[in-house]
Structure formats: C-alpha cells, structure tokens
A = this chain, B = another copy of it.
Amino acid sequence: MGAAAIPLGVGFSIAQTGHTEPRLDRAIQRFQAQLSRKTGVPLVPLPENPTRVRLTIHTDHASEPVQRLGEDESYTLQVTDAGVTLSAPTPLGAMHGLQTLLQLVTISAPGFVVPEANIQDSPRFPWRGLMIDSSRHFIPLKVIERNLDGMEHVKLNVFHWHLSDNQGFRAESKRFPQLQEHGSDGLFYTQDEIRALIAYARDRGIRVVPEFDVPGHSTAWFVGYPELASGPGPYQIERRWGIFDPAVDPTSENSYRFLDVLFGEMAKLFPDQFFHVGGDEVNGKQWDANPKIQQYMREHGIKDNAALQAYFNKRLQPIVAKHGKTMIGWDEVLDPSLPKDITIQSWRGAESLAEAAKGGYRGLLSSGWYLDLGWSAARHYAVDPMGESSTSLTGEEQRRILGGEACMWMEYADDETVDSRIWPRNAAIAERLWSPREVRDTASMYRRLGLVSHDLEFLGLTHNSYYEPMLQRIAGPATPEQLTALRTLADVVEPVKNYDREKARTAEPTRFTPLTRIVDTVHLESDAGRLFSDAVDAYLGSSCRDANLAARLRTQLSAWSANDATFQTLAPQSSLAQEAAATSKDLSAIGQVGLEALSYLEKGQAAPPEFKQQTEVVQRATEPKGQLLLVPAPAVSRLVDAAASGGNCTAK
C-alpha cells in the first residue's frame, strides 16, 4: 500500500470537468453504486456530510453517436494523496478508467482505500467481444444485462448476439412475424427490448453486433417460412444439438428478397456498423437432395457446395452493404471472390485469421476462446490473435486482425448456469485483448482473476452464487455431512473438455433436458484442483522436507480419502448424486494413494517396487466417469511417481 492511499468514506465525492453528457453521469452514478456495493460504504452526498472532491473526471469530447470500431478508449488515472484524477479523450475512456478505479479499491488495515497509482492505459485491440448464443437456450434480458455489466468491468466492447439458430429465432420481426411466432416457443426479444438492451450496452461502452445465421443453422426460420428452405417442409423447431440439414435455398430469388427485407429491418434496429450473417457449418445435404438446386448449379457452373455457399455470400454481401452495414461471418464465408469489405470471425484457428489478413480481409479470433468447451483460464489466456501464424504478416496485414471474441454456445447452459460458464475465465480473455502481449504470467493472472471474480459478483453476476443451490438440489434432504461430502467432491471435479460430453453421452440431450447434473453444477475450472496441483508442484519442486506444504497436502488428501464413505450414503438417495458415485470412489482412492506416497516422500524412503502398481489406481481415476474429470488425479500421479522413483522429489 503506497503512502498516498486514499481512505474511502461517506465523504468521497466526484466532480466532472470538460465534456459531460447524460451517459457519463449515469456511468458515474453506476460507479458510485458499484463502489458502495464493493465496500459497503454508502456514498450518498448529503448536505450534512461535509464532502471534499476526491475524484475528478475530465473528458475531452464526446464519442461517436454510434460507437465505432477503433474509437479512442484510452484514459489516464492518477491516485495521489491529493485525490484521484481520471482523464480521457472520450466517455469510453472515462468509463474504462472508472472500472479500473473500482478494481483498485481494496481493504487494508485502516479500512477501504484507493492505493496510489499512475496509470496510462489503452487497448491493444479495438474489437474485444463476447458472443452469447440466445438461441439454444433462451436467456432472459436481465441475465444479458448483468453479463454486459461484467463486460464493462473487464473493458470488453462488443456484445455479439447470436439471435437465431436451429433451436430458435429470438428477435421480433415486424415484417416477418412468423419468424418469432413459429420459431421461438414464445421466447424472443421484442424490438423495444432490443432497443433498450442496445442503449444499456452503449451506456457501458459496448457495441451490439447481431447475428442472423444463414444459410445453415436456420431450421427455426423455416417453421414459419418453409419456402425459404432447400428441402420440403414442414419444419419443427429443432430440439437437439448438432449440425442439421436444413439450409436456405441459395438458388431462389425469393430467398434474397426475404433476406433483403429482413436484414433491412434488422439493420435499422441494430445501429452498429457490423452485421453478422453466420455462414458456418452448412452440411449441404438439402442442396444435394434438391434437383432444382443441382440443376441451378450445373447451369451456373457452380462446382460444389462450397462454391454454392460462396455464391450465396456474394449475393448476400450487397444486400448487407445496401443497408449500410459491413458484413461479418464465420470462417466459412471466406472466399477470395468476395469483396474485401467483409470481416471474418475465425472459429477454426489463428491460421485462417492470418490467411484472411493476407487476403486483405479483416478478422477476429474466436478459436481457442470457446468458453463452453471448459478450458482453463490459463489456456484461454495463452491464446493470442497475433499467434505464430501472424509473424509473417506485414504491419498493414496485422492491423487487419481486429481482436477477438469469447464465445458462449448454449447447448449445456441455461440462465441458471450461464454466468458460471462465462466467468471468471472470460476476464482472462478480456485481459489478453486489452493488455500488451508481453503480459503473460499465469500465476499473476490467477491472482487478479480471483479479485475480479469477487468484484463481478458484487456487480450481480452469479458465477459463484449459483453453485450452492445447485449442490443442494442434488443433495435434497441430505444431512449436513452428506452435503459437505458432495461439495468436497464437486469442488475438485470438472466437466469433460471440448466436445467430449457429446461423445460420452448415454441419451440424446435436447432443449428440455434438465441441466441439473453434477456435470452442470461443477465449475468449469476447479480452483481447489488447481491449487492442489500447484501445491504438489511446489512440494516436489522444492524439498520434500517442507513440513508446512506436506501438512497442507496431507490435510487435503485425508479429507478426500475419507469422503467417499459419506458420499456413498447420499448416492442411493438421489439420482443426481448417484452419477458421481464412481468419481467419488476414485477421489477417495487417489486420496489414499496420495497419503501413502506422501509418507514415503516425507521419510525420504524409496517406496517398495510394488507401490508403483498404485499408478494404475491413479490412472483409472484420470479416466472420466459420468462426464466428470477428477482434477487432482494427475497431481497425485506425480506424487506417486516421485515416491516410486526413490523419493528424490527435487529431481522431478
């Protein structure tokens, strides 16, 4: 804590100079409320409270009426014993600075303070986004709003709203009302709600880019408008997950007339410069099966489905442009025949992003940032839009790499769990997009992530608070000991990664499948598992004589070792707990093996040769069961290896 730390009290007040506007006033009020929430100090300026200005905010000028890609978002923030000074060219920078200030505030021996600071800050990339899929599971607006609050806090500036897919068309169209009437089960956003959400986002320095995915991922459109499809109807809203056959008929003029009207309507509703047309994962089966389409391809020399999709996009691009927008699409829309004005969102890899940049296209990275795949924050943090494949790019080409977006696909999340699937890991991606490339230390990132995670909870996100009620739902009328046993297990378990949940499934899930299982309940990244693994590495890496570390490991391993006895009393009472019965056995087994390994290591003895067989126990525990990964198993495996190899733990 620097000597200049400013105490935070009721009298902490704020003044503005330079440009002011209602949005900035609201941002300051919001900041005050957030600061009050974080600290519990009621910051209510009242006549009887003698106040002294402790924060001065200077803003040079207004930002664009519609927030534009690449606007100045920089700010400077100085905290001295004289007070806090925040300066920014535009309200965007001022808002970013306020959130930095909120993060800086910390408890200390004398109470809450703003520590001394001198920060000059601006983003590395101009496009820092989060995509949320509102189609597969509908997400109420208040959930989106709190995620926008979270985005503001970590300085993300693009909300990419995936509004249509096979499982639902979620935006109200007044021109084609059967889109939402037949394609949404009544779960859609009205145009008034959308306008309000865009205003909410703008208030937080966030652009809203809508996505209407064509020609695939569009079954929900065809329930109301079967004539758009390439195959005969009728259609039903899709309830399953996966890639499906229905696709817009790219050979029908009616399709383009429809899209022209719809996109025209939506282009007016969404003021942002960019308009996302999807374009991913067309399997072409309906095209193959439709003689009229096949004939059209022959007549027009369209040699395959990729070419047909390129043709579709070439027809689409002028429509989007006519309504004043820049078209953006997933990897698959990239075709050299398209004008350079389109932007590519790469879900296939940084290579295709570099390739696009070389071809003259602007692009965003999303590959490596699919939040629903369950990667660790460290793994997301290591991804960089300027990956190895971009080293050969010229400066101009590099500037075409606009940034990236974290993506939250919603097959296995709903409004109860979605926050926990996005946060806090998304904050690591946001930091990658904002901070200099050189800021890469993982341990330091995790320290900040823990603090940001707490701040985010005070903003209303539920990525921590969702957990206990879900455990209680699984436990039902359990004893406190049984609930503790469930929590102890759940704390060190993660869902299987990537698309392994699909592979390991026993029944086909649908939109109506309850997301209440242990795999839905556990955090995507286990803090307890990570900390144990770190402790094992510290123990093995330093000296096995470190009694404190050994004691910590022993406490943890003992608790795991004892846990299954209680868990197995719960499992028969709850179908949901039962699913983790095998993993619970594994946890106790690795707890026991870990304790044995620790004993050898503490004694400095080589374990007897037969101890090596315990490797198999641990190996079996690393195999997922019930779609669950037992996170500490690899670390226990390292303990066993060290013990078996003669207890020479420093030589690992």
Contacts and interface: CB of A to CB of B under 8 A. Distances in A.
Interface of A: 10, 37-42, 44, 46, 48-49, 106-111, 185, 236, 239, 416, 447, 450-451, 454, 457-458, 464-465, 468-469, 472-477, 480-481, 511-512, 514-516, 527, 531, 552, 572-576, 578
Contacts of A107: 473-477, 573-576
Contacts of A42: 511-512, 514
Contact of A457 (B110, B472, B515, B573): B472
28 contacts: A10-B512, A39-B473, A40-B416, A40-B515, A40-B516, A42-B511, A42-B512, A46-B185, A49-B512, A106-B477, A107-B474, A107-B477, A107-B576, A108-B573, A109-B573, A109-B574, A109-B575, A111-B575, A450-B477, A454-B469, A454-B472, A454-B473, A457-B469, A458-B469, A464-B468, A465-B468, A465-B469, A480-B527
Contacts of A476: 106-108
Contacts of A511: 42
Nearest to A38: B473
Contacts of A108: 476, 573-575
Contacts of A236: 48
Contact of A514 (B40, B49, B239, B447): B40
A574 B39 CA distance: 12
Contacts of A41: 514
A454 B323 CA distance: 52
A209 B504 CA distance: 57
Given A39-B516, A109-B573, 5 more contacts: A37-B416, A48-B239, A49-B512, A106-B477, A107-B473
Contacts of A110: 575
A509 to B, nearest CB: 12
A169 to B, nearest CB: 16
A442 to B, nearest CB: 16
A106 B476 CA distance: 6
Contacts of A465: 465, 468-469
Number of this chain's copies in the complex: 2
A37 B414 CA distance: 11
A38 B106 CA distance: 37
A480 B531 contact: yes
A374 B40 CA distance: 22
A406 B472 CA distance: 27
Contacts of A457: 468-469, 472
A575 B110 CA distance: 6
B40 A473 contact: yes
A203 B73 CA distance: 48
A424 to B, nearest CB: 13
Contacts of A10: 512
For the complex of A and B, list the 6 residue pairs with the smallest distance between their C-beta atoms, beginning with the closest: A40-B516, A107-B476, A40-B514, A465-B465, A454-B472, A111-B575
B514 A39 contact: yes
Contact of A44 (B37, B39, B185, B572): B185
A15 to B, nearest CB: 21
A516 B511 CA distance: 42
Contacts of A416: 37, 40
Contacts of A37: 416
A578 B109 contact: yes
A412 to B, nearest CB: 13
Nearest to A514: B40
A451 to B, nearest CB: 6
Contacts of A447: 477
**Which one of A48, A106, A109, A576 has the greatest number of beta carbons of chain B within 10 Å?**
A109
A289 to B, nearest CB: 24
A565 to B, nearest CB: 11
A83 B505 CA distance: 32
Contacts of A450: 477
A423 to B, nearest CB: 14
Contacts of A239: 48
Contacts of A106: 476-477
B512 A44 contact: yes
A301 to B, nearest CB: 42
A185 B106 CA distance: 28
A454 B468 CA distance: 10
A332 to B, nearest CB: 31
Contacts of A512: 10, 42, 44, 49
A454 to B, nearest CB: 4
Given A41-B514, A480-B531, A512-B42, A109 B454 contact: no
A545 to B, nearest CB: 20
Contacts of A474: 107
B458 A477 contact: no
Contacts of A514: 39-42
A572 B109 CA distance: 6
A187 to B, nearest CB: 9
A294 B510 CA distance: 79
A110 to B, nearest CB: 6
A116 to B, nearest CB: 16
A40 B519 CA distance: 14
A450 B481 CA distance: 13
A626 to B, nearest CB: 15
A514 B480 CA distance: 32
Nearest to A520: B40
A39 to B, nearest CB: 7
